[in-house]
Each structure stands twice: as structure tokens, then as C-alpha cells.
A = this chain, B = another copy of it.
């Protein structure tokens, strides 16, 4: 027996005394041969341990792998543990899955060991989140489809939400009751690494095409409209959307003397807002009576708890679906802008 090598389509053809084309057709084009012959081939294949045409050879021959890669701006470890990114991925996966494609996960910040090669097996690329450098994009095969999500690549189809409008909407709601000391907690707003108060020393990231600047603008618009001098509203910044990184910054905010402690926190993410909520609860600060908190994202964790988080929901799953449908050519490649929705919870009624 030829147990040593893995059986190939050619081996099977010889074994059954038919041509390789017929075997291939039995697996790929049922209409090209008689049902009886097809049955026989499939049965014999199973018996002899041939589990179907090899995907590597098939993809080389056809030029298509049925694999779509998602390139994540952050590390895979971070992204998989972030609710917003996970929801996005699940939207992508759902559509790919429904159309016989699979999902390859690629980290944006390439490890040194990463050879440029193994990524370009994909038929298309979805790039998610801000891309710090464009090196990776250069390396992407030029002919392949590319869809950018949450940031812009020149001349590339994109899926976005209107961050400025969404943050304006939530801030406007929060200001239905005028705060004495509002504060804004940003996510990656400064060029320099900064976990704490944003001061004159810090440079803000460029105005265009960064999510944080767009959201800040929405907050500022709503505040100005209410006659608040935005220059007086303290800005805090957080570099990473995790409890561990948020926690010390928020502790610093909440542990200020009472007369300086904010009574409204406009947070740029639900993770930040939830961390603020936890820390407030631990300190016995009553929410919303003494401290009103708003989030941004609408992740499940903020809604399936008491008190529920007041926030603005972006449809991350929907974003993933749209991006996947574009890549698969099921909807036109275009610039899509998705709607957001106010979620009126208990932390800022």
C-alpha cells in the first residue's frame, strides 16, 4: 500500500482507472459526470482515505483560496479580548461563513519573525482600526481587494460611523442637566504616550481621520452649544482600552478633592465608562446622583448589568457584515457610513 505518502487525486484516479479530471469533477462539478460514477468515486475515496482535493494545490491553480484576512491594528491578543473588535469580527465571520469563506486573523503590528509571505494567501483584506504605519499596506499584494474600517486608505472602500455626530448626540443628552464640572476621558488622543491629564505639553493627534479627535469634536460641539467654555473642560487620556490601563487614570480623577471632582464624565468608550463606574461604586460615589457617566460603543457588558450604562451604540457587528459583504463583492465597494443609536441607561438618565 502507499500508506507512506498522503493520497493524491492522481493516485485515486489510477486506482479507479479514470482520469484525474473525472475525480476533480466528482468533487467540484457534479453535473459533469454520471451520478453513479460520482457515487462510486466518492465512496472509494472515503474508503481509501482520500479526503478531497488539496486546498494548497487548488488555490494555486484557481488563484483563489476562499480565505479573507482581517488585519487588526492592535495585537491579536488585545483585539480578541476587546468587545468592540470581537463584535466586529463576529460580523465578518458570520458573512464569510455563510458564503463558504474562512477568516484568517493577522496582527497589524508585525512581529519581527513574521515573514511577509504567509499573509498574501488571502483573496481579500479587511483592515480594521487605525494603521500606525503604512509599511504593512505596501506589502499587501496590489491586485487584491482591500476594505478599510474605521479609518481611511486613499482610494479605498471604507466602512465608518460618524463619530462626531454620535458623540455630539450622547453629549447633548448628558447636558440635559448642566454639570458643574464636566470632564472628558479620551482614548489615544495625544501623540505622546499619556495616561493621565492632558496638558499643554501634549500634542493632540492630527485632526483628520483619527477617531478620538472626531469624537472630541462632537463633545466640544455639544458643550459649546450649552455655553460651556470647552477650554475649561479638563481632558484626560488613556492609551489602551483595558481595565488595567484605565483604572489608575480614573482613580486619579475620582480621588481628587471633592470640589474638583467631576460630576460628569464623558468617556470615549464603554470600557472607560465601565471602569469609572466600578471605581465609583468601590468608593461609594453614587451614580448618577453624584457622578453622571456616559460611554461610547454600546457593548453588551454595559447593558446587561445594573445600573445600565448610558451610551451610544455603534453597530460593530453590522460594520463587520458590511465589510465582509464588500470584500466578497456582494455589495458595491463604496464609502459606507453606519448609523448610531442612543442607549439611555441608568448612569446618566
Q: A87 touching B76 by the CB < 8 A rule?
A: no
Q: How large is the interface on A (under 10, 10 to 19, 20 to 34, 35 or more residues)?
A: 35 or more
User: With A99-B113, A304-B243 in contact, is A121–B59 under 8 Å at CB?
Assistant: yes
Q: Which of B77, B104, B142, B300 contacts A67 (CB 8 A)?
A: B104
Chain B CB within 8 A of A282 CB: yes
| Distance A48 CA – B301 CA, assembled complex (angstroms) | 49
Q: Which of B80, B102, B300, B306 contacts A86 (CB 8 A)?
A: B80
Determine whether A51 belongs to the interface, using a CB cutoff of 8 Å to chain B.
yes
Choose among A27, A80, A94, A101 the residue with the greatest number of B CB atoms under 10 Å from its CB.
A80
A57 — which chain B residues lie within 8 A by C-beta?
60
Q: Which B residues are in CB contact (< 8 Å) with A93?
A: 76-77, 80, 105, 107
Residue A106 is within 8 A (CB to CB) of chain B in the complex: yes
Give the residue of B98, B104, B118 whose beta carbon is less than 8 angstroms from that of A111. Answer: B98
The docked-state distance in angstroms from the alpha carbon of A275 to that of B306 is 10
16 more contacts with CB within 8 A, not counting A76-B93, A121-B121, are A6-B141, A6-B143, A55-B118, A66-B118, A75-B94, A76-B90, A76-B94, A77-B90, A77-B94, A78-B90, A81-B86, A99-B113, A104-B105, A243-B304, A275-B304, A305-B305
5 A-B pairs in the complex with CB atoms less than 8 angstroms apart: A6-B141, A60-B60, A93-B107, A98-B113, A102-B119
